[in-house]
Amino acid sequence: MNWCYNIFVTFTHFSKNGELLPIEDAVISVRDLHFQYGFGVYESLRVRNSIVYFIDMHVDRLLESARIIGLEHPYSQGQIIDFIKKVSEKNNLESANIKMLLIGGKTAEESNLYIFPVLPLYPDRKLYKKGATAQTVQFHRFLPNAKTLNMLPSYLFFTKARKEGHYDAVFIDDDGNILEGTRTNFFAIKDTTLITPPKEFVLDGVIRQTLIATAKKNGFTGKREKIRNFSKKQ
């Protein structure tokens, strides 16, 4: 399976298990059953003004996701951070995203860690003024604390929402509580209180964590509690 398509425009190298290689060599074998069955985890990092943001937090979450699904590998936090920095430096990244894919194997040594740059996708700036709509769907992710390759439901819900003119789809649990978006976290603001669902039910996103910390520094109170979907007919 060849990865050489538009996301690699202007980028020249990627990392496989710590080795920098030309983008043209970025392939995954069709015989890789672990990849076929989604036995892997991923993370996406932002690069702005040549700075890779929240690198420690992203690597920690990649490792935690791997732990949750029982994916064994030989990599330490320090090694992965070094791999990321080398990819950024080799490609002279100024404004981009970096994606990590850690795919399992029969043994820890047979796992593969791919790190590669991708073109950034920015929200339309009009959304900051006018807001956006979201489509609700009754669903909750399997192993919500892990960022795994099993993204088909999220992909389908997101695609449907976009086709119908919405920015994202938001998951609602069986009791009518708001959880998270297909690729977003959910927050509600009441006076100076910032409310977000308990982290045991959703992905504890890096932006989610930093937003809560920033809000607290600016006089807000942060709460993690269930949020009722009041738009649901009782």
Q: Which pair of tokens denotes residue 111?
A: 């796992």
Does pLDDT of 9 surpass 80? no
Does pLDDT of 230 surpass 60? yes
Query: Residue 72: what residue type?
Result: E
* Position 229 confidence tier, pLDDT thresholds 50, 70, 90: confident
* Contact between residue 25 and residue 106 where contact means Cβ atoms under 8 Å apart: no
d(CA 218, CA 104): 42
Report the pLDDT averaged over residues 191-216. Answer: 92
* pLDDT tens digits for range 29-40: 888 999 999 999
State pTM to two decimals. 0.89
Residue 13 DSSP label: E
Burial (CB count within 10 angstroms: exposed 0-12, middle 13-18, buried 19+), residue 59? buried
To 5 degrees, how large is the angle CA 10–CA 14–CA 16? 170
What's the confidence (pLDDT) of residue 77? Answer: 98
What's the confidence (pLDDT) of residue 123? Answer: 83
Does pLDDT of 2 surpass 60? no
* pLDDT tens digits for range 137-194: 999 999 999 999 999 999 999 999 999 999 999 999 999 999 999 999 999 999 999 9
Please, which residues bridge with residue 222 across strands? 194
* Contact between residue 58 and residue 206 where contact means Cβ atoms under 8 Å apart: yes
Q: Which domains does the chain have, with CATH numbers?
A: 6-118 (3.30.470.10), 126-228 (3.20.10.10)
Query: pLDDT above 70 covers what percent of the chain?
Result: 94
**Count of Cβ atoms closer than 10 Å to residue 34 Cβ:** 17
* Position 205 confidence tier, pLDDT thresholds 50, 70, 90: confident
What's the confidence (pLDDT) of residue 232? Answer: 52
Least confident of 30-39, 91-100, 119-128, 164-173: 119-128
d(CA 212, CA 223): 9
What's the confidence (pLDDT) of residue 153? Answer: 96
